[in-house]
């Protein structure tokens, strides 16, 4: 279950992570189009990432706050992330993550408590996904929901901004995912088309820097969407469990009361280069066989 939720979050992060805008008379769609055109000149970027997830099951509540810093380079593609997951009384966990090409594959490297884990991703399929993240992909998806987007002018941290709000409907979100080969990379999380089919609408708030027409911040309210993902996941588990007790436990109601992700873009084309630690490069590769098995013994 956790790996499926993580997979959906990864999809969204990858889709939305990788910019003057014009006058007040333009539409929200015009502003988005200009920002995406400007994003083509971005070769590297830095950002801050945060996500708040509040959920409950069987009378118990779990609240987690995940924060992190992201540095990404486009050519060659490589990413560095420092992440902290705080679960209150359950404790917190710091993670250091990298993604980069090595030979014929891409690899993710994850470090926790001084121990490194390495996982391979097919290079050809992954690069097809990266090459799909063009402005046309985003624009085609937003066009389906363009009537829902409006904008106002605002100021934050002495920056003049356009605040664009609206809804990306489930059909447009599915089209965005289907326009890439990213699902081929998500099979190891047990994700198939049924998990994101007919999803609830995704509430989006975008902030554009008025002077440069670049993305300044993005907020995604995924509460309804993640509730549907959770419900579908639990239904899938209940179909494969063995034994009445296991079935009862697996199908316990899980309520998502809040799931909000925010990305603040802190710099473009001025990121400090980085190297992947030797201990990460030399880590033993994880064996992911059997991860798609949802059977409960």
User: How is 57-113 classified by DSSP, letter by letter?
Assistant: ETTEEEEEEEEEEEEEEETTEEEEEEEEEE-GGG-EEEEEEEEEEETTEEEEEEEET
Q: Does residue 163 belong to any structural domain of this protein? A: yes
Q: The domain that contains 168 carries what CATH number?
A: 2.50.20
Supply the range of the domain harboring residue 56.
2-65+132-270
Outline where DSSP puts E strands in 103-201. 105-112, 115-122, 150-156, 159-168
Q: Does residue 122 belong to any structural domain of this protein? A: no
Question: How many domains are contained in the chain?
Answer: 1
Q: Which of 64-73, 88-97, 100-109, 269-278 has the lowest mean pLDDT?
A: 100-109
pLDDT at 57: 83
Q: Does residue 162 belong to any structural domain of this protein? A: yes
pLDDT at 292: 45
How far is C-alpha 139 from the chain's CA centre? 18
Outline where DSSP puts E strands in 114-214. 115-122, 150-156, 159-168, 202-209
Distance (Å, rounded) from C-alpha 126 to C-alpha 106?
8
φ and ψ at residue 70, rounded to 5 degrees: -125, 135
Does residue 177 sit in helix, strand or coil? helix
Q: How confident is the model at residue 267 (pLDDT cuts 50, 70, 90)?
A: very high
Distance (Å, rounded) from C-alpha 90 to C-alpha 136?
43
Distance (Å, rounded) from C-alpha 16 to C-alpha 262?
10
Q: Which of 124-133, 210-219, 222-231 has the lowest mean pLDDT?
A: 124-133
Q: Which of 24-38, 172-186, 256-270 has the lowest mean pLDDT?
A: 172-186
- Kindly state the average pLDDT of the residues 69-77: 88
Encode pLDDT of 121-171 as tens digits. Answer: 766 666 655 554 444 445 556 656 667 789 999 999 899 999 999 887 766
Q: Does residue 112 belong to any structural domain of this protein? A: no
Q: How confident is the model at residue 247 (pLDDT cuts 50, 70, 90)?
A: very low
Structure tokens at 18: 């990788």
Of the candidates 232, 288, 250, 198, the one whose C-alpha atom is nearest the C-alpha of residue 5 is: 232
Write down the mean pLDDT value for the chain: 76
Q: Does residue 84 belong to any structural domain of this protein? A: no
Q: Does residue 43 belong to any structural domain of this protein? A: yes
Q: Is pLDDT of 238 > 80?
A: no
CA distances from 265 to 42, 64, 182 (A): 12, 22, 23
Q: Is pLDDT of 296 > 50?
A: no
Q: Is pLDDT of 198 > 90?
A: no
- Kindly state the average pLDDT of the residues 79-105: 88
Label residues 112-121 b or e (16+ Cβ within 10 Å = b): eeeebbbbbb
Q: Does residue 115 belong to any structural domain of this protein? A: no
Cα 271–273–277 angle (5° rounding)? Answer: 135
Distance (Å, rounded) from C-alpha 161 to C-alpha 163?
6
- Kindly state the average pLDDT of the residues 111-120: 91
Structure tokens at 204: 């989006």
The answer to whether 187 touches 292, Cβ cutoff 8 Å, is yes
CA dihedral (33, 34, 38, 39) in degrees, to 10, reads -30
> In this structure, are strands 150-156 and 44-57 parallel, antiparallel, or unpaired?
unpaired
pLDDT at 51: 92
Cis before 76? omega within 30: yes
């Amino acid at each position: 279950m956790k790996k499926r939720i993580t997979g959906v979050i990864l999809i969204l992060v990858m889709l939305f992570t990788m910019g003057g805008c014009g006058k007040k008379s333009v539409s929200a769609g015009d502003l988005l189009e200009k920002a995406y055109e400007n994003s083509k000149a971005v070769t590297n970027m830095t950002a801050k990432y945060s996500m708040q997830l509040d959920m409950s099951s069987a009378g118990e509540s779990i609240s987690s706050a995940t924060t992190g810093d992201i540095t990404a380079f486009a050519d060659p593609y490589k990413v560095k992330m420092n992440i902290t997951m705080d679960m209150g009384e359950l404790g917190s966990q710091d993670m250091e993550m990298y993604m980069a090409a090595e030979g014929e594959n891409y690899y993710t490297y994850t470090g926790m408590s001084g121990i490194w884990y390495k996982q391979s991703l097919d290079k050809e399929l992954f690069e097809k996904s990266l090459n799909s993240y063009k402005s046309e992909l985003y624009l085609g998806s937003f066009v389906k929901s363009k009537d829902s987007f409006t904008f106002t002018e605002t100021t934050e941290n002495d920056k003049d901004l356009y605040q664009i709000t609206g809804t990306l409907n489930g059909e447009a979100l599915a089209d965005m995912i289907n326009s890439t080969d990213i699902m081929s990379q998500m099979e190891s999380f047990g994700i198939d088309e049924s998990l994101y089919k007919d999803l609830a609408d995704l509430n989006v708030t975008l902030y554009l820097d008025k002077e440069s027409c670049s993305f300044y911040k993005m907020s995604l309210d995924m509460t309804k969407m993640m509730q549907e993902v959770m419900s579908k996941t639990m239904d899938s588990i209940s179909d494969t469990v063995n034994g009445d007790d296991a079935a009862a436990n697996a199908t316990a109601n899980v309520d998502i009361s809040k799931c909000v992700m925010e990305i603040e873009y802190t710099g473009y084309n001025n990121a400090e280069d980085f190297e992947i630690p030797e201990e990460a490069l030399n880590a033993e590769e994880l064996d992911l066989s059997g991860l798609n098995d949802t059977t409960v013994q």
